[in-house]
Amino acid sequence: AYFVLQVIYARRKHKISPPETTGHPEFERIFRAQVNCSEYFPIFLALLWVAGIFFHQGVAALCGLLYLYTRFKYFQGYTVAAQGRLGPLYASARLLWLLLGLAVAGLLAHFLLP
C-alpha cells in the first residue's frame, strides 16, 4: 500500500493523470519500482506460505521480514536513481531463492520421510 501511495503522490506532484505511465523521470522510476514489487509479490507469498507450513514458521517469517525490508530499500533506491535498486534487488532475489530452498526441503521432508 505504501508503494501505491507513493505513485499517487508522484502523479499529483508531476501532474500525470491515469492511465498515463510516462512523464517526469522521477515519476517513471517510482511507478516502475511499484510495478516491479507488485510482480514479485505473488511469488514471495507462495514461497513464504509453503516454507512456513512445511519447513519452519519462524525461519520463514524471518526470511519474509528481511525480504520486505529489502524490497522497501529497493523501492527507496529506485526512486532516487535506477542504479540504486541493484543492491537490494540482489538481496531480495537471494531471499527468494532461500525461501524456495526451504520450501523444497520442507516438502521433501514431509512427503519422503516417514
Instruction: Tell whether the model's pLDDT for residue 85 goes beyond 90.
Output: yes
Domain count, the chain: 1
Checking if the pLDDT of 84 tops 90, the result is yes
Q: Is 6 exposed, middle or buried (0-12, 13-18, 19+ CB in 10 A)?
A: middle
pLDDT of res. 114: 79
Give the model's pLDDT for residue 93: 98
- Structure confidence by residue, pLDDT tens digits, 38-57: 999 999 999 999 999 999 99
CATH number of the domain encompassing residue 38: 1.20.120.550
Q: pLDDT (tens digit, 9 = 90+) per residue, 63-81? A: 999 999 999 999 999 999 9
pLDDT at 70: 98
What positions carry a catalytic annotation?
Answer: 12, 85
Average pLDDT, the chain: 97
Which parts of the chain fold into alpha helices (H)? Answer: 2-14, 25-54, 57-80, 86-112
CA distance 87 to 103: 25
Domain carrying residue 66: 1-112
Is residue 27's pLDDT more than 90?
yes
